[in-house]
Amino acid sequence: MTDSSPARATAPATSTAPSHSASSAADEAPGGGNGLLWVLVAVAVLFAVLRPRAPMDYLRLVDWQTVGALAGLLAITQGVEKSGMLQATAQRLLGRMTDLRSLAMLLTAGAAVLSALVTNDVSLFLLVPLTRVLATQADLPLARLVVLQALSVNAGSALTPIGNPQNLYLWHRSGESFVGFMGMMAPTVAIMLFWLFVAVWVLVPRTAITLRPATEAPAVKPRLLTLAGVLFVAFVVALERHWLVAGLALVFGAFVVFYPRVLKGVDWALLAIIALMFVDLRQLAELPAVASLLQHAPIAEGWRAYLAAIVASQFISNVPAAILLDGPVRDLPALAAGVSVGGFGCVLGSLANLIALRLARLPHGLREFHKISIPFLIVCALSALWLRMG
């Protein structure tokens, strides 16, 4: 007879059986494969053959502000990881949590709240590395936890004008006050968060957290942690003032001088993926067939505008979709709701999805993501549509 209440357990040190739920991805090569990178390269080559343009034009397609911001944040995140603070925090967190579902609820709720305050990308840079470290100390379903966090930041960031780039763009276009925009988004966000926590309840069992055999934790390096913290604040200020080059020079210069090994862990392939996404997706949006479709499609208002935003997000990501549809769509609340829900489903729906999977270093992350995210998109899209039509 098994006790149904959660209890702390420790994995036997002699056990060598592989665990399906516990992720060994933390020990994999960074990024867990670059299949998406090569697909984007192939699409870029195809466009170059069919619709050639000057080399400098390709560079203009890239949003260097976004790529540069990610580069700086990736370097700072590596500094935090190398400082040992994540390992120490993970040990304390596992000492307080008793069951897997409670831990998943905490991480998911934390991601949602943080994303509304400090943007979806920044919240992932804070929480996904911590979750990956947790999976090295306990038997955890890392892929599932990270996918739920990706869904969580997409949902939570939709509440505030500063939660994500598409909200910031649409907020300025709407003329609404900060609180007024939140009021407009609140019903859709409530539906997304409701189904998010239902998903956590269904997908994560209330079982005891099984600790892995204890290993000697790396010593915390206070100087490196302090440097990373100072650089984070300085870099955010630089981004707000549009001093991207100066901010990047400060971050990378400081690490080159004081801790050069930190930069070896930066996921440069992720930066290449993001840059190629801009190149490929913006060329796709420029195709005459796409422009003609948008001009003649009946998507100006109501449920058609909402569904058009969701569908467009699946192919070109929700930020470009918001910009592309801002002209033909006159129903801004429907557009805002659609691009928010459109962040679910395909991994391309939101930049945050790619960031989460790359930070977690999941070898089969895309498969796990779509197994959860596509059904989640369908449920949220229909629920929010029913709300809007009701």
The reported pLDDT for the residue numbered 216 is 63
Query: Average pLDDT in the 197-218 region?
Result: 84
The reported pLDDT for the residue numbered 11 is 47
The reported pLDDT for the residue numbered 81 is 80
- SS3 for 110-157 is HHHHHHHHHCHHHHHHHHHHHHHHHHHHECCEHHHHHHHHHHHHHHHC
Rounded-to-5 percentages of helix, strand, coil across the chain: 75, 0, 25
Q: What is the pLDDT of residues 229-275, one digit of tens each?
A: 999 889 878 887 888 899 999 999 999 999 998 888 888 888 888 88
Q: What is the pLDDT of residues 78-125, one digit of tens each?
A: 888 888 887 788 888 888 888 999 999 999 999 999 898 877 887 888
Which DSSP letter does residue 9 get?
E
- In contact, 354 and 274? CB cutoff 8 Å: yes
pTM score: 0.76
Q: Over 50: is that where the pLDDT of 2 sits?
A: no
- In contact, 318 and 340? CB cutoff 8 Å: yes
The reported pLDDT for the residue numbered 390 is 59
The reported pLDDT for the residue numbered 33 is 55
Q: Over 70: is that where the pLDDT of 13 sits?
A: no
Residues β-bridged to residue 7: none
Average pLDDT of the chain, as a whole number: 84
Which DSSP letter does residue 2 get?
-
The residue behind tokens 């929010």 is 384
Q: What is the pLDDT of residues 35-83, one digit of tens each?
A: 778 888 998 999 999 888 888 888 888 888 878 888 888 898 888 888 8
Q: Over 90: is that where the pLDDT of 337 sits?
A: yes
Token representation of residue 339: 């691009």
